Amino acid sequence: MDWVWEIYQEYVARELGRLGNNNPLQDDLQHAFFQTLRESSVTVLVQEPWQNSVRFKGLVRYTGNDMTPLVNDPINFLFEMFGGGKFKLNFHHHELNFVGTRNFKPEGEPRWKDAPRIDF
């Protein structure tokens, strides 16, 4: 879960500052982080060849507690669900505010190629 905090740290501190807490204690940051994460979504995209370039194919979006298995063990979760590939996880707060992204590359045969493209 530390890797998710790295993505959210600046966003959470900025949001607390916007609410008037410019010097948050560690407990404030932790509470705000978990609250923000519950209100967030993560979109799973995979890099696929396209013409003479690459593009990202949307696979799925998880919200709130549905993303817990993914954030707890991203490499194994992605491999179990989709097989191998170059995956991009985009995090948003309230579906609108982009928080950050992280890439993962589980090794193995891709099982996502026949999955429908989901546009977000």
pLDDT tens-place string over residues 100-118: 999 999 999 999 999 999 9
| Percent of the chain clearing pLDDT 70 (strictly above) | 100
pLDDT tens-place string over residues 37-57: 999 999 999 999 888 889 999
Amino acid found at 72: N
pTM to 2 decimal places: 0.92
Buried b (16+ CB within 10 A) or exposed e, 28-42: ebeebbeebbeebbb
Mean residue pLDDT of the chain comes to 95
- Please, which pLDDT band fits residue 26 given cuts at 50, 70 and 90? very high
pLDDT tens-place string over residues 42-97: 999 999 988 888 999 999 999 999 999 999 999 999 999 999 999 999 999 998 99
